[in-house]
Amino acid sequence: MISLKSAREIEAMKASGAIIAGMHKELAQIIKPGMESWAIEEFCHKYIEEHGGVAAQIGFETYKYATCVSINDYVCHAIPRKGVFLKEGDIVKVDTVVELDGAFSDSCWTFAVGKVSPEVAALMEATKHALYLGIDQAVVGNRIGDIGAVIDGYLTENGYGNVREYIGHGIGPTMHEEPSVPHFGTAGRGLRLKEGMTITIEPMVTLGGWQTRIVAEESDWDAAKTADGSWCAQYEHTLAITKNGPKILTSQDPKEDAKYL
């Protein structure tokens, strides 16, 4: 079932999204070589709660943590771990969902650890650009396929792998809802977008192939890595589809995102 949100509900999701945005902005200032994966979890969980939110991933399908912390060739869903330390030149994806007064928001960001290689820096830039190309297609009257087609076309043209097994989704009043939002597809095909829909767009982009493999993190949770060991970046925003265009609800940069606010 797809729920259409009122202006009041969208504002509530924006308040939830502001917590994630603030968390990611502060995280960018403290991530450095030698930082433990578990320290990221501790920082994020504390930040969410200190700002009045609920770390909504905890308890979702048995998941135990406020964040997913996915390093280098991990694509997504890696658990934060003690004894795993970031190294100079790594990239780390930090994904979380926040609930605030019943309103949900979801965002993932990729962080460079120290100085990354030019190839990895270009991967990060391309992934973020692909996200915004998709957001530009999230307008009333377009179709889901328009989002995926523009993302996949750009990534394919530039020689990147576009992960297909993990996709965006509707969000609110629960964490994962219809519609599914693939980052590939055919323009003009799929569900028509309507005012009041709230969705995530979250391309996962690799330096190699798009295929992934499951890695058992522990007995009750699985993470995904690239099948060929290539590194992966991801950026994700929650957004609302409005009569005035897509509105980003997890924006970290009011200047950069001015036309989406």
d(C-alpha 129, C-alpha 135), whole Å: 10
User: Residues of 91-119 as b/e, b for ≥16 C-beta within 10 angstroms?
Assistant: bbbbbbbbbbeebbbbbbbbbbbeebeee
Query: Is 176 part of any known ligand binding site?
Result: yes
Query: Is 77 part of any known ligand binding site?
Result: yes
Query: Is 202 part of any known ligand binding site?
Result: yes
In the chain the beta strands, taken as DSSP E runs, fall at 54-55, 67-71, 74-76, 91-100, 103-112, 161-162, 168-170, 177-181, 198-201, 204-206, 212-218, 221-226, 232-234, 237-242, 245-248
Query: Is 177 part of any known ligand binding site?
Result: no
d(C-alpha 30, C-alpha 130), whole Å: 26
d(C-alpha 248, C-alpha 238), whole Å: 6
Paired with 221 in beta bridges are: 218
Query: Is 106 part of any known ligand binding site?
Result: yes
Query: Is 228 part of any known ligand binding site?
Result: no
| Residues near 135 by beta carbon (within 8 Å), at least 6 away in sequence | 201, 237, 239, 246, 248, 260
* Residue list for the binding site: 77, 95, 106, 169, 176, 202, 236
Annotated binding site for substrate: 77, 176
Please give the annotated binding residues for a divalent metal cation, written as ranges: 95, 106, 169, 202, 236
